[in-house]
Structure 1
Amino acid sequence: MTATPPQPYAQQVAPRLSSRPRGRRTGALRDLVGLALLPLPLLVAVLPGAFAGGGTRRWFGGGRGESARAEAQAAKDAAAEAFYDLDTAQRDLRISIETITAVDSSPAARQVAADFDALGRRIDEVSHRYITAVDAHDLDRDDLEAAVAGRARAELTGAKDELLRVRQELDRFTRGLGPLLDKAETQLARLAPAVERARQALLAASTALDTARGSGLRADDLAARLAALGPELTKLNQGAGRHGVPETLQRADRVLRDAEAVRAEAERLPERAAETDRRLVSLRTRAQALTTRSAQVEPILSELRRRFTAACWQDLQQVPEQAADAVRQAEAKLAEARKARAEQRWPDATALLSTVRALLNHTDEAVSAAGERLRQLNAVSKDPQAEIERTRFAIRDAQRLAMTGRATPDPRHARPLDDAVSRLDRAVDGLEGRHPDYWHFLTETEAVRATVGRVVAQIRQDRGGPV
């Protein structure tokens, strides 16, 4: 049996399987017609001899001969049924193999295809034996002998048995294809919906882009990104037969993802433009407010210089100049951002506005630090005891936690807590004198509390509790 016959082989061999010699029967028919034309008296005289002479069919062996012919014919019919069944099964299996190889290029799929080819050659061999047996014996011959019919029956039965054995091999092979075939059919089932989703996503992106442009937004970068998907759409339309199922699925997913990104950005573009405008106004207002606040830093520094030691305000000396410079930079960046907005260069505008915000945040912190420094120094100079007690309470609370459930504290916890007590005592001693360094005192107490906090976190972690 060939891999893809021009027509089912059964149709090619059917005329041979059903033909029978027609010579004797044609001659006998001609004799009967001639006899029918004779006058009735003469016909009565001739008729017995006509059927007793050479035109008579020879019924060999009586009942035994007809039985042999019938058995051979039955064997022939059974072999034909096995042949057609095997041929149908092979055709069905070929469809499954083609499905797998169209989707899967893995070594396992290639091995399956090779095994199917080998099985096809085996099928060709047994099919050839069957056809040879059919062609070798004309079971419709008038002179068919019983011995010949017996040989025909044996050969046809042997051919049928081989066809059935190969059919069993084919069935076993088919059962082994389950996982690969399921995977291939799943991918094929995904193919058409995936391609359609990609097409719809491209259409939605194009519609969103047209809407954005209709509102006066150019969206040139989005248009370029959408145009770049054109060749991908062409390949999708060419189909999986040209580019392969896995590649087409990957392409469809990629087009879908990129098109949806373009659509989302195009739909958000009017909002993005409005947001950019709001940020431009907000940051411009904030820059102006910082200019006003920066002017207040110098009076704060004057008071700090007048009332406290140099260590309390020296690090703030450059704040007015730095603030003014930062505001100037922010205003310059704002001008660039306005230009980028006018040219609809949205990524540039966004980046510039982020830079402006960072500059203003840093300046705001520096300006606020001067006023906060004065507030803290005023508070501690009036009542340093409140800061001392706050810090001592933190230390005592940590010490109680370290002793909970223990007769003696863990050295890993006790040592840093003891050091914290000593550090606080030194900071308090530093307040003595005519011009105490209150800022140093404040930084020391803050550092002590930070150390205590780390010890508490370590204790809780060692005990498995919340930090």
Structure 2
Amino acid sequence: MTATPPQPNSPSVPPVMRRHRPVRRGRPALDHVVLAVALPVVAVLALPAAFAGGGTRRWFGGRAENQRAEAQAAKDAAAAAFYELDTAQRDLRISIETIAAVDDSPAARRAVEGFEALGRRIDEASHRYIQAVDAHDLDRDDLEASAAGRARAELSRAKDDLDGVRRELDRFADGLGPLLGKAETQLARLAPAVERARQGLLAASNALDAVRESGLRADDLAARLAALGPELTLLNEGAGRHGVPQTLERAERVAREAGAIRAEAERLPERAAEIDHRLVSLRTRAQALTTRAEQVEPVLSELRRRFTVACWQDLQGVPETAAENVRQAEVKLAEARAARDAQRWPDATALLSTVRALLNATDESVSAAGDRLRRLNEVQKDPEREIERTRFAIRDAQRLAMAGRNTPDPRHARPLDESVARLERAIGTLEGRHPDYWHFLTETEAVRQSVARVVARIREERGGGHGPG
């Protein structure tokens, strides 16, 4: 983009750079000198008075004019370097202001400090240039060749200084790429993010209005939406007051919360219907469990009559516990109904979860009594089935442990041998007049679990590259 040369009063031009602006003046006297050189020598000798008076410049010869031309060329080159540096500095200042507005990281602060230091060096080079321009009047009629030579040398040095600072400025600008890219990205995200937040709040408000028209109050959602009001005020005040990163973060947070409120409001009718359904379902389940709990006592009576105390002692409290759980579930159901009528949806949901947990526990304990009687009947009728099931698990594990080996790994053989011995001891408990069938069942189950752990370990080791040796 072509930059317009700064005006002397432009606020972007450093103070020193605003003091003077080099002005190219015309050179009419030089035209007379060229004309005179073109005339015949006789004509020149015939016109001495024309160059001696009348306000025209006295001619000092070709060398002086050549030095004047070289000095003027040096002055023009220095002026061009001055304007280019000024333009580059103003462009870079815009980049620095963009970074400072968005980024407060240590790297961004170092960039601002580096630009300020560069500005001081630019001021110094500009001051030397202006001094060189002010020190030499190249339009003087009596400018001598030596003076023109000094002017050319000083102006050339000034140009070199300006070019050197310009190169330093360019290198500094090249290093700002990541910071500037990040800042520009955030600025590009800012306006859309704020607009999304505003639209999100509007959508949430409309969703709440629709819910209220259906007869649902949604007071908790309305309170959450009202809490976002101050956040919208801060967004409207703008990033200039609160900072770009903070405004961007606030806009994204408001948009998320407004979206959540809108989604919950839109789902509220479905949620109310779901709570109504759960109330009916859990009440029906509580009534069924009440009936089932009443059947536990006959099961316990049969267990007491046919099996040893160890087979049923841990089930003695099931009827009382089941009845208490059902009673508490019914109380919580009543509270859930009241919360639903008051449209306290979170409370109703939490109470229904409590009811469900109570009924699950009751179901498990009531089922445990009937399951115990069934398993004891099976093992009393045919204990060999349980024995063979356990022996098969042990033999299968032993074959796996010996696969590809002459001798088993002691880490695997030892627990398998212990499982064999443990099974034999469990079988021994079946002898006698009153066998402890429940102890037998728990022991055989424990043996199978121990064997399963050995099998899992063997497969894990071989699957991981530790095959049999």
TM-score by length of 2: 0.86
Residues 20 and 141, structure 1, Cα contact 8 Å, conserved in 2: no
CA distance in 2, matches of 1:121, 1:76: 23
Q: Name the aligned partner's letter for residue 443 of structure 1.
A: T
CA distance in 1, matches of 2:24, 2:202: 61
Q: Name the aligned partner's letter for residue 110 of structure 1.
A: R
Tell me the equivalent position of 1:298. 297
Tell me the equivalent position of 1:433. 432
CA distance in 2, matches of 1:16, 1:465: 85
Residues 83 and 127, structure 1, Cα contact 8 Å, conserved in 2: yes
Query: How far apart are residue 281 of structure 1 and its match?
Result: 0.7
CA distance in 2, matches of 1:181, 1:6: 23
Residues 76 and 134, structure 1, Cα contact 8 Å, conserved in 2: yes
Query: How far apart are residue 256 of structure 1 and its match?
Result: 2.1
CA distance in 2, matches of 1:11, 1:433: 116
Answering whether residue 83 of structure 2 is matched by residue 67 of structure 1, we say: no
* 1:55-134 mapped onto 2 (5 Å cutoff): 55-134=54-133
Tell me the equivalent position of 1:263. 262
Query: How far apart are residue 283 of structure 1 and its match?
Result: 0.4
Tell me the equivalent position of 2:37. none
CA distance in 2, matches of 1:446, 1:147: 115
* Cα separation, partners in 2 of 1:159 and 1:293, compared to 1, 3 Å: same
Q: Deviations over 1:86-106 (max 9, x none)?
A: 110111111111122222222
Q: Comparing 130-139 with 259-268, which one deviates more in the overlay?
A: 130-139
The runs of 4+ residues in structure 1 deviating greater than 6 Å are: 1-4, 9-12, 48-53
Q: Name the aligned partner's letter for residue 107 of structure 1.
A: P
Residues 103 and 187, structure 1, Cα contact 8 Å, conserved in 2: yes
Question: Does the residue aligned with 1:463 lie in a helix, a strand or coil?
Answer: helix
* Cα separation, partners in 2 of 1:380 and 1:111, compared to 1, 3 Å: same
Equivalent pairs, count: 440
Residues 431 and 441, structure 1, Cα contact 8 Å, conserved in 2: yes
Tell me the equivalent position of 1:193. 192
CA distance in 2, matches of 1:246, 1:447: 61
CA distance in 2, matches of 1:264, 1:7: 50
Tell me the equivalent position of 1:221. 220
* Cα separation, partners in 2 of 1:414 and 1:153, compared to 1, 3 Å: closer
Residues 22 and 133, structure 2, Cα contact 8 Å, conserved in 1: no
Tell me the equivalent position of 1:358. 357
Query: How far apart are residue 392 of structure 1 and its match?
Result: 1.4
Query: How far apart are residue 434 of structure 1 and its match?
Result: 3.0
Q: Name the aligned partner's letter for residue 181 of structure 2.
A: D
Residues 103 and 244, structure 1, Cα contact 8 Å, conserved in 2: yes
* Cα separation, partners in 2 of 1:328 and 1:10, compared to 1, 3 Å: closer
Query: How far apart are residue 62 of structure 1 and its match?
Result: 4.7
Question: Does the residue aligned with 1:165 lie in a helix, a strand or coil?
Answer: helix
Residues 212 and 218, structure 2, Cα contact 8 Å, conserved in 1: yes
Query: How far apart are residue 358 of structure 1 and its match?
Result: 0.6
Answering whether residue 191 of structure 2 is matched by residue 171 of structure 1, we say: no
Q: Name the aligned partner's letter for residue 311 of structure 1.
A: A
CA distance in 1, matches of 2:287, 2:396: 47
CA RMSD in angstroms comes to 2.8
CA distance in 1, matches of 2:52, 2:186: 75
Q: Deviations over 1:297-341 (max 9, x none)?
A: 122222222322232222222212211111111000000011111
Residues 60 and 145, structure 1, Cα contact 8 Å, conserved in 2: no
Query: How far apart are residue 277 of structure 1 and its match?
Result: 0.9
Residues 430 and 436, structure 1, Cα contact 8 Å, conserved in 2: yes
CA distance in 1, matches of 2:23, 2:436: 121
Residues 78 and 160, structure 1, Cα contact 8 Å, conserved in 2: yes
Q: Name the aligned partner's letter for residue 92 of structure 1.
A: D
* Cα separation, partners in 2 of 1:78 and 1:300, compared to 1, 3 Å: same
Tell me the equivalent position of 1:453. 452
* Cα separation, partners in 2 of 1:56 and 1:311, compared to 1, 3 Å: closer
Query: How far apart are residue 417 of structure 1 and its match?
Result: 2.0
* Cα separation, partners in 2 of 1:416 and 1:10, compared to 1, 3 Å: closer
Tell me the equivalent position of 2:151. 152
* 1:260-339 mapped onto 2 (5 Å cutoff): 260-339=259-338
Q: Comparing 333-342 with 298-307, which one deviates more in the overlay?
A: 298-307
Identity %: 76
Query: How far apart are residue 84 of structure 1 and its match?
Result: 0.6
Tell me the equivalent position of 1:411. 410
Q: Comparing 388-397 with 207-216, which one deviates more in the overlay?
A: 207-216
Q: Name the aligned partner's letter for residue 188 of structure 2.
A: A
Tell me the equivalent position of 1:347. 346
Q: Name the aligned partner's letter for residue 426 of structure 1.
A: R
* Cα separation, partners in 2 of 1:356 and 1:56, compared to 1, 3 Å: closer
Tell me the equivalent position of 1:385. 384
Answering whether residue 410 of structure 2 is matched by residue 421 of structure 1, we say: no
CA distance in 2, matches of 1:216, 1:273: 11
* Cα separation, partners in 2 of 1:297 and 1:60, compared to 1, 3 Å: same
CA distance in 2, matches of 1:444, 1:7: 90
Query: How far apart are residue 348 of structure 1 and its match?
Result: 1.2
Q: Comparing 266-275 with 67-76, which one deviates more in the overlay?
A: 67-76
CA distance in 1, matches of 2:12, 2:166: 21
Tell me the equivalent position of 1:44. none
Q: Deviations over 1:124-170 (max 9, x none)?
A: 11212222222333333444444443333333222222211221221
Q: Name the aligned partner's letter for residue 220 of structure 2.
A: D
CA distance in 2, matches of 1:107, 1:150: 49
Residues 340 and 348, structure 1, Cα contact 8 Å, conserved in 2: yes
Residues 16 and 135, structure 1, Cα contact 8 Å, conserved in 2: no
Tell me the equivalent position of 1:232. 231
CA distance in 1, matches of 2:94, 2:452: 73
CA distance in 1, matches of 2:398, 2:213: 70
Query: How far apart are residue 56 of structure 1 and its match?
Result: 4.6
Residues 17 and 134, structure 1, Cα contact 8 Å, conserved in 2: no
User: Which residues of structure 1 form unaligned runs of 5+?
Assistant: 22-47
* Cα separation, partners in 2 of 1:2 and 1:421, compared to 1, 3 Å: farther
Q: Deviations over 1:320-378 (max 9, x none)?
A: 22111111110000000111111111111111111100110010011111111121122
CA distance in 2, matches of 1:3, 1:120: 17
Residues 3 and 120, structure 1, Cα contact 8 Å, conserved in 2: no
Tell me the equivalent position of 1:180. 179
Question: Does the residue aligned with 2:405 lie in a helix, a strand or coil?
Answer: coil
Residues 58 and 143, structure 1, Cα contact 8 Å, conserved in 2: yes
Query: How far apart are residue 195 of structure 1 and its match?
Result: 2.0
